[in-house]
């Protein structure tokens, strides 16, 4: 595959990635509008990192927003509905992180191709 074709494929992939990010941002805004309030996830993160739910020698590892929300709901012995606003927001935030990670991988590949092209023209 030629460098030009790889660049074209990367440009298409990056455009799709940006479209996914825009859709995710819109879904987050729509969720805020649906509940008529700002969904503050900070208390979940803070409480998760306090580690009150851990055993004495357990290691704390962040596994995403959905994991944190589920763990804390279990700790509080509360049911977590499929349409719970915090659960929905956690899913969207985890998706957002994955989208941004894919964008970073695309940027890295673009940089590598650019470096090869620079060497070829030098």
The residue extents of the domains of the chain are: 3-121
> Beta-carbon neighbour count of residue 88 at 10 Å?
20
Please say whether the dihedral angle defined by the alpha carbons of residues 77, 80, 84 and 87, taken in this order, is positive or negative.
positive
Opening angle at CA 104, ends 96 and 29, nearest 5: 20
d(CA 95, CA 108): 20
- What's the rounded Cα separation, in Å, for the pair 89 and 78? 18
Among residues 88, 94, 39, which one has the least CA distance to residue 63? 94
Over its length of 122 residues, how does the chain's per-residue pLDDT go in tens digits?
A: 777 788 889 999 999 999 999 999 999 999 999 988 889 999 989 888 887 666 666 667 889 999 999 988 988 888 888 778 999 999 999 999 999 999 999 999 989 888 888 898 87
């Amino acid at each position: 595959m030629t460098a030009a074709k790889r660049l074209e494929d990367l440009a298409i992939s990056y455009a799709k990635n940006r479209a996914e990010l825009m859709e995710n941002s819109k879904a987050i805004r729509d969720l805020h509008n649906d509940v008529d309030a700002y969904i503050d996830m900070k208390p979940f993160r803070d409480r998760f990192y306090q580690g009150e739910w851990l055993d004495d020698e357990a290691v704390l590892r962040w596994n995403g927003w959905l994991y944190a929300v589920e763990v804390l709901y279990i700790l509080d012995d509360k049911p977590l509905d499929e349409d719970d606003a915090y659960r929905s927001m956690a899913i969207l935030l985890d998706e957002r992180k994955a989208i941004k990670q894919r964008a970073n991988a695309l940027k890295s590949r673009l940089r590598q191709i650019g470096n090869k092209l620079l060497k070829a023209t030098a």
